[in-house]
Amino acid sequence: MKRKSLYALIALIVAGSSIGTAQAVDYGNWYIAPRLGVLVPDSKRDTQNSVLAGLGVGFWVNPNFAVDFEYTLNDADYKSSSPYATRQWQTQSVGVTGRYFLGDEQGYDGWRPYVAGGLDFVGHDAFMSRSGWGPGFLVGGGVQRALTDRVALRGEIDYRWNRDTVSLPTTSNYGDWAATLGLVISMAPPPPPPPAVAPPPEPAAHKVVIELRGVNFQFDRPRPGQTDINGILNKPISDSVAILDQAADTLKRYPNVEIKIDGYTDSIGSQAYNLKLSDRRAEFVKHYLVSHGVAESQIIGTKGYGKLDPVASNATAEGRSRNRRVEFKVENPGQMGQ
Domains of the chain: 2-26+201-337 (3.30.1330.60), 30-186 (2.40.160.20)
Question: 261: part of which helix (H) or strand (E)?
Answer: strand 259-263
264 touches 327 (CB < 8 A): yes
Report how far residue 335's alpha carbon sits from residue 329's, in angstroms, rounded to the nearest whole number: 14
DSSP state of 130: -
pTM: 0.54
The pLDDT value recorded for residue 34 is 96
Predicted confidence pLDDT, tens digits, the chain (338 residues) = 444 444 444 444 433 333 333 322 233 578 999 999 999 998 887 788 999 999 999 998 888 899 999 999 988 888 777 666 666 778 899 999 999 998 776 656 778 999 999 999 998 887 666 678 889 999 999 999 988 878 899 999 999 999 887 666 677 888 999 999 999 998 876 667 778 777 776 555 456 777 778 788 888 888 888 888 888 887 888 888 888 888 888 888 888 888 898 999 888 888 889 899 889 998 988 898 899 898 888 888 898 898 888 888 888 888 888 888 898 888 776 555 55
Report how far residue 199's alpha carbon sits from residue 197's, in angstroms, rounded to the nearest whole number: 7
| Cis before 222? omega within 30 | yes
- Closest CA relative to residue 92, chosen from 117, 116, 68, 120: 120
Burial 276-293 (b: 16+ CB within 10 A, else e): ebbbbbbbbbbebbeeee
> Taking each helix axis from N to C terminus, what angle separates 2-15 and 237-253, rounded to the nearest 10 degrees?
20
Report how far residue 109's alpha carbon sits from residue 216's, in angstroms, rounded to the nearest whole number: 18
Q: Could you give phi then psi for residue 240, rounded to 5 degrees?
A: -70, -40
Which amino acid, residue 259? I
The pLDDT value recorded for residue 84 is 67
